[in-house]
Amino acid sequence: MYKDSKFKSFNISNFSPFYPILSFALLFIIGICVGSILVGKIQYLFEYSSSNIVDFFNIRQNENIFSIIYNSFLMSFPIYVATFLLGTSFIGCVTAPIIVLLVGFKVGLLTGNLYMSYKLEGIMFNALVLMPIVLSFIIGLFILSKEAFSFSFDLAKTCIKNNKPVNIYSKFRLYCLKSVSTLVCVLVSIIFDVGLSTLFISYFTFI
C-alpha cells in the first residue's frame, strides 16, 4: 500500500528537465566506451564497423549530393521514428534508454575502429567529420528519448487503480509536437554531413 502511494505521487515533471537528458547522455557515453573496447576483441564487430566505414566513404566520395542526403536521412530518421513509436506504448520506459545505449555502442564501434586501424588519420576524421554529425543527431535523440520515456510513464500511471486521472490526449498532442521539433536536429545532422563531407572527405585516403 505504501509503495503504491509512492508510485502514484511520483511525477517525472518534479525533476529538473536536465536530469533525464543527463541520464541519457551517460548511457550514450557508456555505450561508446563498451563499443570502443569490444571492437578490438570481437572479430565480427570489427568487420561490421569496417564495413560501415567503407560504405560511408564510398557514398560520399563517389555519389552525388542527393545520394549523400538520402543516405544521411536513412541513418538517422528511422531511429527517431522507432523511439517515437515505442514511446506511445508502455514499453517506451525501457526502450528509450536501450536505443540511446545502442546508438552509443555503434558510435563506439566506429570510433574504436578508426583509432585502431587508421591512427592519427582516423582521429582527424572522427573529429572533423564524424563527431559533428553524431552530436547534432544525438542531441535531438536525447530530447526525444526523454519525451518518449515521460509519455510512456504517463500511460503506465493511467493503469494504476485509483490513480489521479491523466489527460492522455493533451499529453499525446504535446508529445507529438515536441517529437516533431526534434527533427530539426536531423536536418542539422544532414547539413553537417553534406557540408563536412564535401569539405574534408577528399583529404582522407585511408579507404
Task: Give the pLDDT of residue 163.
Answer: 60
Beta carbons within 8 Å of 71's beta carbon, 6+ residues apart? 59, 63
- State the Cα–Cα distance between residues 199 and 43, nearest whole angstrom: 33
Q: What is the mean pLDDT of each run of 10 residues along the chain (207 residues)?
A: 46 59 91 94 94 89 86 92 93 92 95 91 90 93 93 82 68 92 93 91 76
Which pLDDT tens digit goes with each residue over 11-57?
A: 544 555 677 788 899 999 999 999 999 999 999 999 999 999 988 88
C-alpha grid cell, residue 181: 521539433
- Regarding pTM above 0.75, the answer is yes
Task: Give the pLDDT of residue 5.
Answer: 47
Task: Give the pLDDT of residue 204.
Answer: 83
114: nearest Cα among 63, 41, 40: 40
- State the Cα–Cα distance between residues 66 and 200, nearest whole angstrom: 18
Buried b (16+ CB within 10 A) or exposed e, 25-38: bebbeebbebbbeb
Task: Give the pLDDT of residue 8.
Answer: 47
- State the Cα–Cα distance between residues 78 and 63, nearest whole angstrom: 22
C-alpha grid cell, residue 147: 519525451
